[in-house]
Amino acid sequence: MNRFEVVAAMLPSADVCAQAARATEEHFAPSNIAVCKYWGKRDAELNLPINPSLSVSLDHLGTRTRVEPIDGPVDDIWLNGLQMRPDTMFAQRLSRYIDLYRQGHPQAFRVETRNNIPTAAGLASSASGFAALTLALNDALQLELEAAALSMLARLGSGSACRSIYSGFVEWHMGHREDGADSHAHPIEAQWPGLAIGLIKVDEGVKSVDSRSGMARTVESCHLYQSWPLQANTDLVKLHQAIDAQDFKLLGSTAEQNALSMHATMIASWPPLVYWQPDSLAAMQKIWALRQQGLELYFTMDAGPNLKLLFLEQDREAVLSHFPDLEIVLPFGS
């Protein structure tokens, strides 16, 4: 099945855009940081992953989006207060996603989206962006879909967006069906007050190789990638154990190894895919040295140069003494 057929089967009627679409209030979706990464697709058309993944949301950091129907031939896309030309990659990607709901109907929309995180810098802005857009379209078209269905729809915009429909710890089931009906996220009820995430912003610029292209290159050219699904599934079990027992050392060490294993497959691709910058590696080495000195501090990285530190709130001052510019998020509060 292609994505148009999948969405058509989920919509209450084939002409939802021909009905009374309405303007919406802003809808918020949080960014998320995967502690067990999604890297590689078994179906690129439907964004179906080769392995399951697990993330934690970044609380107030994410995307706010509102939509309204407009008269005109094309969508009117705004990002952070700036109008995007229809030929920009950002506008085209959003319009192609809205096409799934239009199903050939010529209804255009004004989309106003605002990120309070850097766009396309390895901080999962596409995840929160497509999740927020999915929530807004569900409201605008009065679809009243359940969360699992919204997660599946968000996945068609950006794979990890399926996790940003929820907050807290979230697991994305890889699924096995060809239509992707069993590939969606669900929230994990466990809370972890005092768990802290710190953002090290090495470079907030747009990546030279986007995640979608990077995944394809890795799967196609890296022989090491054959071991990645086993690594991810093993790590997922460990992470569930860590969350259930609130074992921070197990959580941090598993997340860090998982991230480095994913980046190892990128580096072993051809041409080599290296998202790290000198400051990224310097931060890693600093973290390893601090851990040797007794500070329980770990990191994870998505497809970008920026690091996300994992530590406990009780070590906040010690961490800040070494990383004074750190932006800290407490996903579950103090």
Below-50 pLDDT ranges, the chain: 120-122
In this structure, the answer to whether residues 20 and 94 fall within a common structural domain is yes
pLDDT of residue 211: 86
What pLDDT is stored for residue 212 in this prediction?
A: 87
Please say which residue of 170, 187, 204 terminates a domain. Answer: 187
In 3D space, the residue among 128, 104, 102 whose CA is nearest the CA of residue 115 turns out to be 128
Amino acid at 266: M
Query: What local confidence, expressed as pLDDT, does residue 207 receive?
Result: 79
The token duo for 196 is 């802290």
Amino acid at 151: S
User: How far is 220 from 270, CA to CA, in rounded Å?
Assistant: 9
pLDDT of 159 reads: 95
What are the residues facing 200 on neighbouring strands? Answer: 307
pLDDT in tens, 6-31: 999 998 876 777 677 899 999 999 99
8, 112: one domain: yes
Final residue belonging to a domain, choices 154, 187, 220:
187
Same domain, yes or no, for 21 and 154?
A: yes
User: What is the residue range of 166's domain?
Assistant: 3-187
Given 138, 155, 187, the domain boundary residue is 187
In sequence order, which residues have a C-beta less than 8 Å from that of residue 212 and are 6 or more positions away?
A: none
The number of helices, as runs of H, and strands, as runs of E, in the chain is 9, 13
Is there a single domain that holds both residue 138 and residue 243?
Answer: no
Strand extents, DSSP E, the chain: 27-36, 41-43, 48-49, 53-70, 76-79, 82-83, 108-115, 169-172, 185-187, 195-200, 298-300, 307-312, 327-329
Q: Give the integer Cα–Cα distance in Å for 115 and 137.
A: 18
Assigned domain for 183 exists: yes
Tens digits of per-residue pLDDT, 245-267?
999 999 999 999 999 999 999 99
Based on the fold, state whether residues 200 and 172 are members of the same structural domain.
no
In a domain, 334, yes or no: no
Contact 29, 128 (CB under 8 A): yes
- What's the pLDDT at 164? 97
Per-residue pLDDT at 124 = 56
- Taking CA atoms, 33 is separated from 7, 109, 258, in Å, by 27, 30, 12
> Same domain, yes or no, for 153 and 17?
yes
User: pLDDT at position 197, please?
Assistant: 96
| Distance, CA of 89 to chain centre | 18
For residues 193 and 243, is the Cβ–Cβ distance under 8 A?
Answer: no
pLDDT of amino acid 121: 43
Q: Which backbone phi and psi does 316 adopt, to 5 degrees?
A: -55, -50
**Are 304 and 294 within 8 A, CB to CB?**
no
